[in-house]
Amino acid sequence: MRFENPTKWELFLDGFHNICYALECYNDGHRWGYGEFWEALSSGWYGEYIYPYDDLHHPYLSDERVLRLGK
């Protein structure tokens, strides 16, 4: 789900959707393997905190990321 100017509620719902996706990957471990569960958990972290990865869902720099990147 992508929002142009997300509110806190919309950001919460998007994060909750990501958590549900990670749990779904965990429950499907017999079919896809449990590695998918850990990748689903860490994909949001990669998108937000590790340069040069970009967050595909929210293309903006958070205050914390600006501090980490020194920009």
- Residue at 3 is within a domain: no
Q: pLDDT tens-digit profile of 43-71?
A: 666 555 555 555 566 566 667 767 777 75
- How many domains does the chain fold into? 1
- Residue at 28 is within a domain: yes
Q: Which range in 8-17, 23-32, 57-66 is most confidently predicted, on average pLDDT? A: 8-17
- Residue at 63 is within a domain: yes
Query: Does the predicted model carry a pTM greater than 0.85?
Result: no
**Which domain covers residue 49, as residue numbers?**
8-69
Element (H, E) at 68: helix 63-69
- pLDDT above 50 for 1: no
- Residue at 1 is within a domain: no
- Residue at 2 is within a domain: no
Q: pLDDT tens-digit profile of 33-45?
A: 555 666 666 666 6
